[in-house]
Amino acid sequence: MSRARSALPLALAAAVAWASLALGGCDDPAKNAPRAPATPVAPAPSAEAPAPSAKAPASLTVQTDDWSIKRPAPSRVVAIGDLHGDIERTKRVLRLAGAVDANINWSGGALVVVQTGDQVDRGDGDREIIDLIERLRREARAAGGDFIATLGNHELMNAQLDFRYVTKGAALSFDEFAAEAPDGAKGLLGMRGRAGAFAPGHAYAKKLAEQPLLAWVGDSVFVHGGILPKHLGIGLHNMDRETREWLRGERPEAPRAVMAEDGPVWTRLYSAAPGPRECKMLESVLDALGAKRMVVGHTVQAGGITEACGGKVRRIDCGLSAFYGGPIQALEIQGDDVKVLKE
């Protein structure tokens, strides 16, 4: 039996604990620091992560394939942080961005919206959010714009059947998929439908596979946690491709470099309280990419969107969901003009 399969009951046990005790949590560094995933994964050869370095390298090389995930800068980009299952506040921030009309149909024309992950968990409306994003992506592209939602740690946790932050309402909304639950989840009280939807290769995991690990738009890089120097050595394209293959059920395990504590969806080096060392690492990554800024979510910013490292990192998890009760805000980028939109 593989290590991943033998560990599966641990993920299920975590979900059962949620169902019986209604455990909560929050994505702040002190209470919910990055941790190993509920289902351990073995390394994929092309995504084996080297040991973290205490210093940023003098120079970094971007792999040739990585340039394939870059798209030209549109005239206007709006970035939106963590949504966490709050469909009503999601609609409000989309209206604030000028992306949708009163009926929540795309009205942004050539606008590009980038949402930096954690669409799911902590709220009842995460299925509606995923479905809405999928629809708006189609409508935006038909109008000459785009809606890019990147993967966050909570999307990948659900694909690992780690449901510790799923609300009862969100679990019930997937009941129709109960018959599709993998064998190891058949006895999972209250979560069989969610397991049937989010297990790799299943309906909602495939929807998540349409979402990239990061978005590189013009001179801005958008990612849930952060891109570290070591990730450039592994290859951004490699990590993105292998993560999507796993979600589609084409790989038996998630790439280790993505799921590690310092992976792109887990690291808080830039989103918490970066000091000189972290800012130097960030600068080395941006220099290698030829980018001006990194836009990250993952860590709730008290009072709203913030910046650090002289504006080289913009931290857009403003806690806009009802779970956190933060403000409705988004980040607008028009060339070199970067500003916070406020409701």
Q: Where do the domains of the chain lie, and which CATH numbers do they carry?
A: 56-165+200-342 (3.60.21.10)
Q: What's the confidence (pLDDT) of residue 183?
A: 86
Between CA 41 and CA 163 the distance in angstroms is 17
Q: Which residues of 126-157 are buried (b: 16+ CB within 10 A; e: fewer)?
A: bbbbbebbeebbebbeeeebbbbbbbbbbbbb
Decide if pLDDT at 28 tops 80: no
Residues counted in the chain = 343
How much of the chain, in percent, has pLDDT values that exceed 70? 82
pLDDT (average), residues 82-98 = 98
Low-confidence winner among 177-186, 204-213, 246-255, 325-334 (lowest mean pLDDT): 177-186
HEC readout, 119-166: CCCCCCCHHHHHHHHHHHHHHHHHCCCEEEECCCHHHHHHHCCCCCCC
Please say whether the beta carbons of 212 and 151 come within 8 A. Answer: yes
Assess whether pLDDT exceeds 70 at residue 25.
no
For 34-54, give the DSSP string.
----SS--PPPGGGPPPPPPS
Q: Is the pLDDT of residue 129 over 70?
A: yes
The pLDDT of residue 12 is: 42
Predicted confidence (pLDDT) per residue in 225-256, tens digit:
999 999 999 999 999 999 999 999 999 999 99
According to the model, what pLDDT value does residue 154 have? 98
Quote the pLDDT of residue 205.
Answer: 98
The catalytic residues are: 154
Which pLDDT score is estimated for 187?
Answer: 64
pLDDT above 90 coverage of the chain, percent: 80
CA pseudo-torsion sign 184, 190, 193, 197: negative
What is the C-alpha separation between 318 and 326, in angstroms, rounded? 6
Mean pLDDT for 71-99 is 97
